[in-house]
């Protein structure tokens, strides 16, 4: 019956709208309660987290305080050392950083030299010099006949031989210990009773090799109360002049084989080898001695 449906529909519509409005009111009431609880919980958690971090902040501040205190105490100790009445600052500075290399600007030097040199390595050199600040003039003399060492090894490897040489040098001191050196070296090697014996022939001869070198290098020089120590770190050869003299006693290559080309080739190879040895640069030449 249509006239009865309209009142029922209208009644259900009123109830539906009323229930919807009530649900919306409950939601609006629940949201602020939930928000307030969440806010209170967050504030509480932050507070707890802050309380947990408080000991770490205290430890960090304590560490900074200790470091600051240590720095101030150390600075006070240094000030006390500097102000020590028993310490003479001028004397200490003079000892640690001497104004002069020696008490006198002039001195005579006498020493022994040894190092990586084709002559000196078998025969230490006597070094004589004169110090005239900032220059050092001198010479070195070496001779295996009188100053030689390794005599047994030299005879076993080189036979009857003699190594000698002399060096004139000038050193220019720069700063406290460093110096530049220019030197002229004369090196001589005498080799006796060289042989070249084969089925094709035999030969006996002597070899005399000489070379003159001009070298440049650098080193270190240090004086103490009565002595000195000098080290030629390295000397490069910039000019050289060689000469080889061969004295033959006899040979049978010409009569047996009809030619002496092999003998001449052997002599040339030996000459070139010894010339290369004599032309070797010098390094780590240590000279120690005293001055007066």
Q: Indicate if the pLDDT at residue 103 is higher than 90.
A: no
Q: Is the pTM of this model over 0.85?
A: no
Nearest CA-CA partner of 176 in 74, 96, 249, 248: 96
**Could you tell me if 140 and 167 are in contact, meaning their C-beta atoms sit under 8 angstroms apart?**
yes
Count CA within 13 A, CB hemisphere, residue 119.
30
pLDDT digits (tens, 9 = 90+) for 216-225: 999 999 998 8
Averaged over 95-103, what is the pLDDT? 57
Confidence of residue 11 (pLDDT cuts 50, 70, 90): very low
pLDDT digits (tens, 9 = 90+) for 250-271: 999 999 988 999 999 999 999 9
Q: Which residue has the higher pLDDT, 287 or 44?
A: 287
Distance CA 171, CA 237 (A): 16
Percent of the chain exceeding pLDDT 70 equals: 65
So what's the pLDDT on residue 128? 96
């Amino acid at each position: 019956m249509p006239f009865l449906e309209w009142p029922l529909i209208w009644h259900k519509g009123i109830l539906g709208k009323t229930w919807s409005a009530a649900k919306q009111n409950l939601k609006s009431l629940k949201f602020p309660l939930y928000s307030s609880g969440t806010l209170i919980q967050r504030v509480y958690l932050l507070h707890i987290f802050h309380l947990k971090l408080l000991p770490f902040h205290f430890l960090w501040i304590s560490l900074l305080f200790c470091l600051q205190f240590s720095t101030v105490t150390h600075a006070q100790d240094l000030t006390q050392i500097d102000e020590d009445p028993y310490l003479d600052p001028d004397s200490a500075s003079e000892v640690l950083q001497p104004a002069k290399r020696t008490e006198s600007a002039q001195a005579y030097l006498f020493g022994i030299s040894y190092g990586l040199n084709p002559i000196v390595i078998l025969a230490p050199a006597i070094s004589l010099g004169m110090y005239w600040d900032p220059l050092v003039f001198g010479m070195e003399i070496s001779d295996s006949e009188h100053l030689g060492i390794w005599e047994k090894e030299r005879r076993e490897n080189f036979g009857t031989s003699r190594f000698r040489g002399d060096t004139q040098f000038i050193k220019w001191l720069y700063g406290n210990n460093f110096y530049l050196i220019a030197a002229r070296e004369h090196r001589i090697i005498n080799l006796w009773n060289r042989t070249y014996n084969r089925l094709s022939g035999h030969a006996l001869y002597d070899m005399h090799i000489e070379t003159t070198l001009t070298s440049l290098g650098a080193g270190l020089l240090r004086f103490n109360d009565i002595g000195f120590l000098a080290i030629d770190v390295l000397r490069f050869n910039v000019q050289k002049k060689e000469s080889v003299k061969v004295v033959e006693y006899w040979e049978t290559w010409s009569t047996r084989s009809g030619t002496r080309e092999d003998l001449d080739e052997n002599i040339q190879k030996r000459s070139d080898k010894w010339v290369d040895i004599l032309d070797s640069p010098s390094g780590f030449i240590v000279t120690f001695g005293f001055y007066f």
